[in-house]
């Protein structure tokens, strides 16, 4: 049975637990309430070992939770408060004051996701004036309440809508019509349904079989170096000891295939939680062996396919000279953990037939095109030069220029301008991925 920690204002937490327990399931819910949203990170830091997953009362605590070192997108979800909550608040308060409220003051976190901000902005079309107080995680309840109070005293607003029950209470005490924007029953039920599916998917991934293949390159050189005496045996023992220490940490099954090649079997969840330790092992092996060391990881439902994917991942690391760990999943996704601790995930196959047909007229593989897409998305680059592509993809300028030329010829990239330079010389051409392909 999984334990789910619920984070939010006390009233929100109580409401979520009430409806959650009405649904028959195998989850246990534990409430962690706060006075201000800034306490979210502290709650995660102090209680992360007590629960398996986190459910937040809204987008505000979820956004703040992303500042925590314990943030995990796979293990967290927030109640998606619909625009209906805003409409309901305006309707209820309009009834309370005896006229249609047309001047409204709202408070919201300043770094919320765009879709939430857009829903609030939509209210402007219904109102004469919408005042938005944007606060951060350090803004006090008193400061937010004083903002609304000042507008009320100046007769600029008819009602207030707040994200904090504490602000609601302060304004109510001053007879100001105020509505607390909390999770509604249908929002809670809908989110819980999605969350259960997310937990089931997580459980499936956690229990997948994972194979880790470690290969010390140029092992024949080590053999020649210790051709006489017991040096080679001691070196092999030292390498095996290093790998065995990781095998113990991931509770794995160990196979020494000889010639510097080791295979470890474990579960996906354990391996992913120890990826930094695996990376550290590779660095130690390189120092001990005096040769480059690579690792390929494969996730699958069976041992056979897990090993097959791990071997394919290792081959890609060898062919592309990737200095790090390559992971291949059953769904065709590839993840590269590189030396600078960065991570890049992309698809090994493309399902867009138009893109596939265009790539057939080039020498560029679907895997390479997906990798370029993923890197540009990761860097949030709308436009890029050949030199930028070469640097980020760790390739020569000439190779990057060739790839762009081929993609340009089939319409997968297009010119979008030139790059201004502070030094003399021709301005570099800028490219962008063609948007028409993805419409």
Residue 339: predicted pLDDT: 59
Residue 20 corresponds to which tokens in the numbers above? 């959650």
Residue 114: predicted pLDDT: 61
Q: Regarding the domain delimited by 353-438, which CATH topology (the fold level of the hierarchy) does it fall under?
A: Arc Repressor Mutant, subunit A (1.10.10)
**Structure-derived torsion over alpha carbons of residues 140, 142, 147, 151, reported in degrees to the nearest 10:** 160
Residue 412: predicted pLDDT: 87
End-to-end CA distance of the chain: 43
The confidence band for 341, taking pLDDT boundaries of 50, 70 and 90, is: low
Q: Please write the tens of the pLDDT for every residue from 93-122.
A: 999 999 999 999 999 888 766 666 777 777
Residues 6+ apart with CB under 8 A from 63: 109, 111, 112, 113
Least confident piece of the model among 26-30, 128-132, 175-179, 225-229: 225-229
Percent of all residues in the chain with a pLDDT value above 70, rounded to a whole number: 94
243 or 436, which is more confident?
A: 243
Which string of DSSP letters, residue by residue, matches 391-428?
Answer: HHTT--HHHHHHHHHHHHHTTSEEEEEEE--SSSSPPE
Query: SS3 for 207?
Result: coil
Strands 103-109, 253-258: pairing is: unpaired
CATH code of the domain occupying 83-181: 3.40.50.2300
Residue 349: predicted pLDDT: 65
Average pLDDT, the chain: 86
Burial of 353 (0-12, 13-18, 19+ CB in 10 A): exposed
- The pTM (predicted TM-score) of the whole model is 0.57
Q: Please write the tens of the pLDDT for every residue from 271-320.
A: 988 988 998 999 999 999 889 999 999 999 889 999 999 999 999 888 87
392 or 13, which is more confident?
A: 13
**What's the rounded mean pLDDT across residues 202-227?**
86
Residue 439 has pLDDT above 70, yes or no: no
Q: Regarding the domain delimited by 2-78+186-203, which CATH topology (the fold level of the hierarchy) does it fall under?
A: Rossmann fold (3.40.50)
Query: SS3 for 186?
Result: helix
Residue 92 has pLDDT above 60, yes or no: yes
The confidence band for 257, taking pLDDT boundaries of 50, 70 and 90, is: very high
Is 44:215 a contact under the CB 8 Å cutoff?
no
Q: Which residue from 338, 419, 347 is spatially nearest to 386, judged by alpha carbons?
A: 419
Residue range(s) occupied by CATH 1.10.10.10 in the chain:
353-438
3-state secondary structure string across 43-71 = HHHHHCCCCCEEEECCHHHHHHHCCCCCC
**Structure-derived torsion over alpha carbons of residues 342, 348, 353, 355, reported in degrees to the nearest 10:** 40
Residue range(s) occupied by CATH 3.30.70.270 in the chain:
207-347
220 or 350, which is more confident?
A: 220
Is 430:419 a contact under the CB 8 Å cutoff?
yes
Q: Regarding the domain delimited by 207-347, which CATH topology (the fold level of the hierarchy) does it fall under?
A: Alpha-Beta Plaits (3.30.70)
């Amino acid at each position: 049975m999984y334990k789910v920690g619920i984070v939010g204002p006390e009233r929100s937490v109580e409401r979520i637990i009430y409806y959650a327990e009405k649904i028959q399931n195998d989850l246990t819910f534990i409430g962690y309430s706060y006075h201000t949203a800034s306490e979210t990170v502290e709650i995660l830091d102090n209680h992360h070992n007590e629960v398996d997953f986190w459910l937040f009362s809204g987008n505000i605590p979820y956004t703040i939770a992303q500042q925590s070192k314990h943030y995990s997108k796979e293990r967290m979800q927030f109640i998606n408060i619909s625009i209906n909550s805003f409409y309901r608040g305006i309707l209820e308060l309009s009834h309370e004051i005896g006229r249609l409220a047309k001047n409204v003051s709202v408070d919201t976190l300043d770094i919320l996701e765009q879709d939430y901000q857009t829903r609030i902005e939509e209210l402007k079309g219904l109102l004469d004036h919408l005042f938005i107080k944007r606060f951060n995680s350090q803004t006090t309840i008193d400061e937010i309440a004083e903002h609304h109070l000042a507008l009320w005293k100046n007769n600029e607003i008819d009602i207030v809508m707040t994200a904090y029950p504490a602000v609601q209470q302060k304004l109510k005490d001053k007879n100001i019509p105020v509505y607390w924007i909390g999770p509604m029953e249908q929002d809670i039920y809908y989110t819980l349904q999605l969350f259960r599916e997310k937990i089931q998917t997580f459980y499936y991934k956690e229990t997948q079989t994972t194979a880790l293949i470690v290969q010390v390159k140029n092992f024949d050189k080590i053999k020649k170096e210790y051709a006489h005496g017991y040096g080679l045996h001691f070196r092999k023992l030292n390498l095996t000891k290093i790998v065995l220490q990781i095998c113990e940490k991931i509770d794995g099954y160990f196979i020494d295939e000889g010639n510097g090649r080791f295979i470890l079997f474990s579960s996906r969840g354990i391996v992913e939680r120890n990826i930094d330790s695996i990376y550290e092992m590779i660095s130690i092996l390189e120092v001990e062996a005096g040769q480059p060391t690579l690792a390929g990881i494969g996730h699958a439902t069976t041992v056979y396919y897990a090993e097959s994917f791990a071997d394919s991942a290792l081959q890609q690391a060898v062919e592309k000279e990737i200095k790090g760990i390559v992971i291949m999943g059953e769904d065709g996704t590839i993840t590269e953990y590189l030396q600078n601790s960065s991570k890049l995930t992309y698809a090994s196959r493309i399902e867009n037939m138009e893109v596939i047909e265009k790539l057939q007229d080039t020498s560029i593989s679907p895997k390479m095109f997906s990798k370029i897409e993923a890197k540009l998305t990761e860097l949030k680059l709308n436009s890029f030069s050949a030199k930028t592509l070469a640097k980020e993809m760790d390739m020569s300028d000439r190779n990057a220029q060739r790839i762009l030329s081929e993609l340009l010829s089939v319409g997968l990239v297009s010119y979008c301008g030139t790059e201004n330079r502070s030094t003399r010389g021709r301005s570099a051409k800028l490219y962008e991925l063609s948007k028409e392909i993805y419409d």
